[in-house]
Amino acid sequence: HHRTFSYSSFTIIKHSMYQKLSDQGGRPLNNRNDSNIELEANTATAIRTSSKPDNNNEHKIPLYAQTSSSQTNESSLSSFTLTGDHITPLQTVQIAIQTGYKKALSTSFKKSKPLKVFLSAMLSGSYLGFAISVTMQAQAYGWDKVSAALLFPFGFLLLILSGNSLATGNFALLPMALLNRYIGSGSESSKKVGGDMTCSALLINWFIVYFGNFAGTLLCLFILWGGMTHFGQRDEDGYSAFKNALCGVVYGKVITYRTTGGGAGWFAALFNGMLANWLVTLAVILSISSKSTIGKVISVYLPISIFVALGFEHAIVNLFVLPGGLLYKCDSYVNSYGDEHTFDYGFGDWWAWNQIPVTLGNIIGGATLTGLMYYAIYSHKL
């Protein structure tokens, strides 16, 4: 177990705790077989109920170790509970709100330098480019779709663990912060966001991060294409398997919707976008619920694997794959049954039948199915 204070400080606090417990009619801890966790919890209680220390030497108890004031009474030894790695759902939502607020301020031209956020977003787009590339390479080697999907979450892990910005995550976090400004209770346990959390701040952030992600995917794509194809001068046999996998993905993400046509095809792309970002923003929320690296890895890995295996649509991933179809000149692919499909594919097809509806679907899914839902569940405490 971790020791927060030095040995001498801990001894003083411990004796103070004994005195406090004796005043309350409790038995000294050295006559009990308490575990280390109980000792730490009771020590925290003694600190809280003892006289206020000098301001320069005040010891602060972390948020995750506190309970609400309504659950606290002077004679209770359970005012504080150590939760280890886990953060409670309410505290997770509170952190998500404050994170959304900070992200909005990070792209405010008056209070910060948005270029830093743009560069951070570029890295996120590039990391997703690496992830989808290795996933398609696995399919080129003969992996099935579900097995290859198990490789993809590493791209999300790279950007989350490195603290970079992803537009689709912000589609949930910033609306939660905006809701908190207008309808939050502003309780002591959950400070309301400031008045500078506005709709315009939200839209500016989304715009900067989205196109930062786009710039990152294009950068990764161009370098990958140049190295793999020798800037188009290499014999295609050297990368035909990868190109076939890429063109198959393009066919599924654009041509199938276009073939269906009309509102049915367009809204199918939008709904698949909603489903994808429902899971992606869930991964973002779950990553907040853990303080350890391994906890974040597990939290992110599960929902991301599901969305890729089920073939849902993620706007930032598509900003790598679909321009890749143009760069690699996709016009046909051979499926796993040996059937060849030929098709025409252009810039207009990419945006009309995928990028626009999928981006709107990601916004709706993230803002409502994750952001609004979790805010509604805990709104009475926010």
Q: Is the pLDDT of residue 229 over 70?
A: yes
- pLDDT band, residue 45 (cuts 50/70/90): very low
Q: Between 16 and 111, where is the model more confident?
A: 111
**Rounded to an integer, what distance in angstroms lies between the CA atom of residue 107 and that of residue 119?**
12
Cα–Cα dist 293/378, whole Å? 26
The neighbour count for residue 333, using CB atoms within 10 Å, is: 22
Is this model's pTM higher than 0.85 or not?
A: no
Which of 152-156, 188-192, 290-294 is least confident? 188-192
Structure tokens at 205: 């952030």
Residue 52's pLDDT band, with cuts at 50, 70 and 90, is: very low
| Contact (CB, 8 A) for 281 and 295 | no
Look at residue 16 in the predicted model and tell me its pLDDT: 53
Structure token digits, residue 6:
């030095």
- Cα torsion through 293, 299, 302, 304, rounded to 10: -90
**φ, ψ (nearest 5 deg) of residue 147:** -65, -45
Mean pLDDT throughout 96-104?
96
Compute the average pLDDT of residues 219-246. Answer: 97
Report how far residue 371's alpha carbon sits from residue 382's, in angstroms, rounded to the nearest whole number: 13
The residue ranking higher by pLDDT, 11 or 106, is 106
Bridge partners (DSSP) of residue 340 are 334
Tell me which of 50-64, 103-117, 233-247 is least confident: 50-64
Q: What is the pLDDT of residues 86-99, one digit of tens each?
A: 899 999 999 999 99
Q: Say how far residue 185 (Cα) sits from the centre of its chain.
A: 26
Comparing CA positions, the residue from 115, 107, 112 lying closest to residue 174 is: 107
What's the rounded Cα separation, in Å, for the pair 296 and 289? 8
At residue 112, the pLDDT reads 85
